[in-house]
Structure 1
Amino acid sequence: MRTVMNSPGSSFWAGISSFPEKGTSTLSLFDIVNTPGVAADLSHISTPAKVVGYLPPDDGLKKALAGAEIVVIPAGVPRKPGINAGIVRDLATGIATTAPKAFVLVISNPVNSTVPIVAEVFKKHGVFDPKRLFGVTTLDVVRASTFVSEILGDLSLANKVVVPVVGGHSGVTIVPLLSQSSHPLPSGFAQDELDKLTNRIQFGGDEVVKAKDGAGSATLSMAFAGAEFASKVIRAANGEKGIVAPTFVNLAADKEGGGALKKEIGDDLDYFSAPVELGPDGVVKIHGLGKITEHESTLIKAAVPELKTSIDKGVSFIESSKL
């Protein structure tokens, strides 16, 4: 399998393509600087993957994408939405013209806008398949699991706790369904404590930025979360069944499930993060919210207008761009 990836905080990304007869994979990296060195570093890890790094000269982007089956885009400048929009647009154009059938995993923030940007670029090139485009919201799930395990006083549970997180991938659009946690919160957990926990999950990125004195944002935890989701997509593509993961998707990827979800949230949004069953062709089924509390319903109502604004910004950006 051939995978293409970017590095967070830059314009670097990568793709994967299969070589089943050799039993190996290729990881292609692309960035405006340093990619050969990063590739050399990664190539020393004991995996069956061949790692190649490309730079912009000599059609580096096209070479990185050639034959890619999965493309991961964590490219961009931390917390610079306008700059990231242009970077993601240009990368999406490269994918549309070189690897239009690839699964595309978008990490670049703001995901609520960058996923629609990729979709609109693909639509203009006539290659949009909503089943193969994903916004990676896994870090919200990872944070929720970790923070709940801290409250339970047992960090060994961190990789066992499962908390569905729906909505989007920024601030109030992040809605943790704590009532559905696989490991319930302590009995008597007060409303103010619930509010604090919810806020920490929603604004966990700010906690990292503050700890880094404004000199950076979440990169290591995001890399872990991105790898977790990419692994699930790869496993599903290889035929493993029953894999479900929250991800920000176009609800047209599953008209029945997406339509039912729109009724649950009470709005005709085109994109929403929800638990999604993955398969060889991408999205198999979009699951609904399940039984939620009045508190969680209020959080979703607060998320919807923010999501609408962010989605519209992404769409408008491409409508006003020259591709």
Structure 2
Amino acid sequence: MAATSATTFSVRSTMPLGSKVSPISQPKAFGVRFNSKNCVKNFSGLKAATSGSCESDSSFLGKESSAALRDSCTPKAQKQYQRSWKNPQPQASYKVAVLGAAGGIGQPLALLIKMSPLVSNLRLYDIANVKGVAADLSHCNTPSQVLDFTGASELANCLKGVNVVVIPAGVPRKPGMTRDDLFNINANIVKTLVEAVADNCPDAFIHIISNPVNSTVPIAAEVLKQKGVYDPKKLFGVTTLDVVRANTFVAQKKNLKLIDVDVPVVGGHAGITILPLLSKTKPSVSFTDDEIHELTVRIQNAGTEVVEAKAGAGSATLSMAYAAARFVESSLRALDGDSDVYECCFIESDLTELPFFASRVKLGKKGVEAVISSDFQGLTEYEQKALEALKPELKSSIEKGIGFAQKQTVAA
């Protein structure tokens, strides 16, 4: 279980394309970044707790100009999270559990969640080696308390009263291994962990990272149904890494400012089921047919790109941790009442004939508030064909997950 997990600073959520909520489509982030066009939320959890750090971040601007910049860059919707620089008052109030916290994704993910000003209690679970991770993180002077839980006997206590559960637990992908090869091991891990979530914190947001997500999310849904606590609005397959990669690759290809780029990615979270809607890129940009094909294939195969580059030493852990932390922060903001939170994720959906599908959604206090269907209006011929082509493979992965969960129930 300890073999997987990951996340980073400027974790961003995006506005829906064509949304009436705001005329802009700028990402939000929990990170320190000065940008007059779209300033990121002040990372107050880290700054306020670090003696003298508030001054050092912007001393080169001068005290007056840096204060003015902070004020001008902080949107009204973000004011509720900002602490007074003279009188720090922690805003942290949410409990987050990371299941698989000692792994390659879990450790950096836990660090990034520890830095969130919204987290009061960070609970780390794994089958081994988690005490050291927790001790290490507990020395970081941010508001959240860190607790460790080891082994099945401590899992229930880890989950009691938790608001958000993140599951990166499982085995990592190795060279030559397909996502289907991960299935037998990770399916059992996810089933066991979600059963514990159902018993101890059934109202929590559940973030599934364990691959193959196209199958593990349906497994989680079946387990929750069997326990009588399934809420489709609170079960998420974390596909944020596909969006992060799409934004990065498009910005590089078209020489754009990364903070401005927003590419919705739909479908699933493996191979051809990953479909970046490049025609919906913000800011509007044109692509040649060759660029569309090249970018689409690279985004779909980016995981393999990392596996091969690491030459057997691991899979995409750091970028996955970054993406997962972004989704966690978006969920926390939504729980905290921010009405302007949008992310792409793999959920139960009626957008297509498939029971689960990844698309952009609006998040709120109770989970998914709306699915943004406008992203599917006016697709290009290339995108429409790719959408139809991904459906059979995604359908098969979903059915595989459902079949596994139902078979386990019969066997029991």
Structure 2 length-normalised TM = 0.69
Instruction: State the alpha-carbon separation in 1 of the partners of residues 261 and 331 from structure 2.
Output: 21
- Corresponding residue number in structure 1 for 2:341: 243
Render the CA deviation track for 1:1-49: whole Å, top value 9, x for unaligned. 110013385796999xxxxxxx971111110111111111111222110
RMSD after superposition:
1.9
Instruction: State the alpha-carbon separation in 2 of the partners of residues 8 and 81 from structure 1.
Output: 21
- Corresponding residue number in structure 1 for 2:270: 170
Instruction: Tell me if structure 2 keeps the 8 A contact 1:249–1:272.
Output: yes
Match of 1:292 among 360, 369, 379: 379
1:217 aligns with 2:315: yes
**How many Å apart are 1:153 and its aligned residue?**
2.6
- Corresponding residue number in structure 2 for 1:30: 125
Match runs of 1:225-304 below 5 Å: 225-251=323-349, 258=350, 261-262=351-352, 268-288=353-373, 289-304=376-391
Q: How many residue pairs were aligned?
A: 298
Question: Which one-letter code corresponds to 2:169 in the other structure?
Answer: A
1:142 aligns with 2:244: yes
Match runs of 1:68-79 below 5 Å: 68-79=162-173
Render the CA deviation track for 1:69-112: whole Å, top value 9, x for unaligned. 10000110013221000100000110011111111000111111
- Rg larger for: 2
Instruction: Tell me if structure 2 keeps the 8 A contact 1:76–1:83.
Output: yes
Distance 1:315-1:94 versus aligned 2 partners, 3 A rule: same
> Comparing 79-88 with 108-117, which one deviates more in the overlay?
79-88
Distance 1:161-1:286 versus aligned 2 partners, 3 A rule: same
Any gaps of 5 or more consecutive residues in structure 2?
1-93, 111-117, 174-181
Instruction: Tell me if structure 1 keeps the 8 A contact 2:105–2:321.
Output: no
Distance 1:69-1:125 versus aligned 2 partners, 3 A rule: same
Match runs of 1:40-189 below 5 Å: 40-56=135-151, 59-79=153-173, 80-154=182-256, 157-185=257-285, 187=286, 189=287
Instruction: Tell me if structure 2 keeps the 8 A contact 1:3–1:69.
Output: yes
> Comparing 139-148 with 32-41, which one deviates more in the overlay?
32-41
Render the CA deviation track for 1:239-277: whole Å, top value 9, x for unaligned. 0002111110012xxxxxx3xx22xxxxx2110001100
**How many Å apart are 1:158 and its aligned residue?**
2.0
Stretches of 4+ aligned residues off by more than 2 angstroms: 6-15
Structure with more contact order per residue of length (Cα contacts < 8 Å, sep ≥ 6) = 2
Render the CA deviation track for 1:224-251: whole Å, top value 9, x for unaligned. 0000011001000110002111110012
Structure 1 length-normalised TM = 0.88
- Corresponding residue number in structure 2 for 1:19: none
